[in-house]
Structure 1
Amino acid sequence: MSRRRENRHRSRQGADSFRCANCSLDVPLSAPGTRHRNHCPNCLFSKHVDERVPGDRASDCGARMEPIAVTVRGDGEWVLIHRCTGCDALVANRSAGDDNPLLLMRTATRPLATPPFPLERLARL
């Protein structure tokens, strides 16, 4: 384990919250609907701390992860798609019961609100 990762792991032991790297909210680690909170319920940003599985805290990147999309699992559960601002990794994260519903809807509808073509082209169809 690298010294940086070891120190980060040590500093998290016993912690019951983390500070959001985007909006600076103090976020509790417990969240309704998930065992490993990995994003801020206020702004939906995350931090690139997991490498292979949720909760492993094995990533050396540590950059902010921007919420860019929402997908829905077969059982109806909403999942946030985050893109790392440091290494461009894409990660799927379960939504939590206390996530900001307005931001979840904005993220889900962003492709419809900003299509890759002028909206006037729809009128010609």
Structure 2
Amino acid sequence: MKNFTANLVICFFTLFLNSQINASGFFGSSDSEGKSGLMAEAIKYAELAKTHKAHPEEIHEYAKMSLEYVKKAEIQAIEHDNTQARTHITESLRRLVEAIKHARMGHARIATEYIDDALVEMYQMTDN
């Protein structure tokens, strides 16, 4: 019975520590976590596109979804007269369009490179 109680205590202690580590984000997180709004959605879909490096069809679909959110963010930036954000958005749009074009042609590696470039611009916009 002592072994059972000791094992039970160890299990609860392990679960407690595991939940504390996960809550602190120790194991890492996606760059889009913690961000909100249209650009966060665009980043999320661009990151998903990036994870499908060898599948141009998947890159194409996720890049198109990201592009839609970036377009909406552009409209929002125009409405708020945010010229600094618009610069990053314009570059993100340009690179996403290129990624979609190359994914459509089956060039997964090149499309992924354009996704990476678009993500850099998106991150810079959200950091400002």
TM-score if structure 2 supplies the norm length? 0.24
Q: Name whichever structure is richer in strand by fraction.
A: 1
Q: Name whichever structure is richer in helix by fraction.
A: 2
TM-score if structure 1 supplies the norm length? 0.25
Q: Which has the larger radius of gyration?
A: 2
